[in-house]
């Protein structure tokens, strides 16, 4: 069968370097789960190496019909090819117990993939994979760094994140405009944050949506408060660790009339 022609709009950048594919497949620890889902196998360069790892339950999900067809004819021993959109997949009904997610992700939806991981954080105990370097760095950035943002705080609240290595554009067809980064996230032992978790998310989002403002200004713009004195109010959001956001959330909850 002919190769799949890359389509715009589906984030299709096929990896052509087998050594890198093998290196990415080796980023899964294999510990704490028996199910693995690969998002966007394309023409299966990673899939071949993932199959070699013999996970008890291994599935792939691919949105592009042409790729699905290609995968079916080239990987006859892979019987679990889900045709569809990962963002709409019901993970609970597809996978029993704990699972890992991996892939050379479609970059156009990489942020949404990670927000979905967050929604299923008690099921998805590990994520490894490749995405655009900028987002990879953001996910792993420590407080105080320029790229630290919403995804860093929300993911680092529940996962240990690690930036593994950088990949240049020349190993893809077609080459993406940006460099790529490979990362690993492992679920930490935090069941629940010690605050109202819904409010935590909205506090983190309101603060970073106005990144250059001090916390005082962003918090006051988002919530009606009975007090104006909080020790960290002079700081900017990128200076706050997860713990400090938890503390801020608790303070807001105690001093809030309502959210605006
Ligand atoms: N893993 C392959 C392909 C990476 S390109 C390789 O390394 O060569 C990203 C792949 O994700 C493409 O095959 C694309 O069709 C697929 N894809 C894009 N959006 C998707 C979605 N929402 N759900 C599942 N797969 C998707």
- In this predicted model, what pLDDT tens digit does every residue of 126-173 receive, in sequence order? 999 999 999 999 999 999 999 999 999 999 999 999 999 999 999 999
C-beta 49 within 6 A of ligand 1: no
> pLDDT of 206-250, one tens digit each?
999 988 899 999 999 999 999 989 999 999 999 999 999 999 999
Angle, helices 133-140/110-119, rounded to nearest 10 degrees: 30
What separation in Å is there between the alpha carbon of 40 and the centre of ligand 1? 3
Write down the pLDDT at residue 7: 86
Measured from the CA of 106, which atom of ligand 1 is nearest? 9
Question: Which of 106, 115, 176, 178 most suits a substitution to test ligand 1, by most atoms within 8 Å of the C-beta?
Answer: 106
Name the band, by pLDDT with cuts 50, 70 and 90, for residue 77: confident
Question: Taking a C-beta distance cutoff of 8 angstroms, is the pair 11, 40 a contact?
Answer: yes
What separation in Å is there between the alpha carbon of 21 and the centre of ligand 1? 14
- Does domain 14-187 correspond to CATH entry 3.40.50.300? no
Q: Is the pLDDT of residue 107 over 70?
A: yes
- Give dist(CA 38, CA 43) in Å, integer: 12
Residue extent(s) of CATH 1.10.8.100 domains in the chain: 197-255
Among residues 32, 28, 38, the alpha carbon closest in space to that of 68 is found at 38
In this prediction, residues 54-79 reach a mean pLDDT of: 95
Indicate the pTM of the whole model: 0.96
C-beta 41 within 6 A of ligand 1: yes
Structure tokens of 51? Answer: 């199959």
Q: Is the pLDDT of residue 79 over 90?
A: no
C-beta 149 within 6 A of ligand 1: no
Q: Is the pLDDT of residue 70 over 70?
A: yes
CA distances from 25 to 85, 89, 162, 182, 250 (A): 22, 22, 16, 11, 41
Q: Is the pLDDT of residue 35 over 90?
A: yes
Name the band, by pLDDT with cuts 50, 70 and 90, for residue 1: low
| Mean of pLDDT over the chain | 96
Select 197-255's CATH number: 2.40.50.140, 3.40.50.2300, 1.10.8.100, 1.10.287.130.
1.10.8.100
Write down the pLDDT at residue 259: 82
C-beta 129 within 6 A of ligand 1: no
Residue extent(s) of CATH 3.40.50.150 domains in the chain: 14-187
Spell 213-249 as b/e; 16+ CB within 10 A means b.
ebbbebbeebbebeeeebebbebbbbebebebbbbbb
Spell 44-70 as b/e; 16+ CB within 10 A means b.
bbbbbbbbeeebeebbbbbbbebbbeb
Question: Which of 10, 27, 40 most suits a substitution to test ligand 1, by most atoms within 8 Å of the C-beta?
Answer: 40
Residues 6+ positions from 112 with CB-CB distance below 8 Å: 87
Q: Is the pLDDT of residue 91 over 70?
A: yes
Please give the share of the chain, as a percent, with pLDDT higher than 90.
92
- Give dist(CA 3, CA 238) in Å, integer: 45
Residues present in the chain in total: 260
C-beta 86 within 6 A of ligand 1: yes
Question: Taking a C-beta distance cutoff of 8 angstroms, is the pair 28, 52 a contact?
Answer: no
Write down the pLDDT at residue 55: 96
Question: Taking a C-beta distance cutoff of 8 angstroms, is the pair 80, 58 a contact?
Answer: yes
CA nearest ligand 1 atom 18, residue: 10
In degrees and rounded to multiples of 5, residue 191 shows phi and psi of -75, -55
């Amino acid at each position: 069968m002919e190769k799949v022609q890359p389509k715009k709009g589906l984030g299709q950048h096929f990896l052509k370097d087998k050594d890198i594919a093998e290196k990415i497949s080796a980023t899964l620890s294999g510990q704490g789960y028996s199910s693995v889902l690969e998002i966007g196998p394309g023409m299966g360069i990673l899939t071949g190496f993932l199959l070699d790892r013999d996970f008890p339950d291994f599935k792939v999900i691919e949105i592009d019909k042409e790729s699905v067809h290609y995968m079916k004819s080239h990987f006859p021993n892979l019987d679990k090819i889900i045709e569809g959109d990962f963002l709409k997949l019901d993970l609970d009904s597809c996978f029993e117990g704990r699972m890992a997610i991996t892939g050379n992700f479609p970059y156009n939806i990489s942020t949404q993939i990670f927000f979905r991981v967050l929604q299923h954080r008690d099921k998805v105990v590990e994520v490894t994979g490749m995405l655009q370097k900028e987002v990879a760095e953001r996910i792993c950035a420590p407080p105080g760094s320029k790229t630290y943002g919403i995804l860093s705080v929300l993911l680092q609240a529940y996962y240990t994140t690690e930036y593994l290595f950088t990949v240049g554009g020349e190993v893809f067809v077609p080459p993406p405009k940006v460099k790529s980064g490979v990362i690993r996230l492992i679920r930490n032992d935090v069941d629940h944050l010690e605050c109202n978790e819904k409010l935590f998310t909205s506090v983190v989002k309101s603060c970073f949506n106005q990144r250059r403002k001090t916390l005082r200004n962003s918090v006051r713009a988002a919530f009606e408060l009975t007090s104006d004195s909080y020790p960290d109010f002079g700081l900017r959001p990128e200076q706050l660790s997860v713990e400090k956001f938890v503390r801020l959330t608790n303070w807001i909850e105690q001093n809030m009339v309502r959210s605006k």
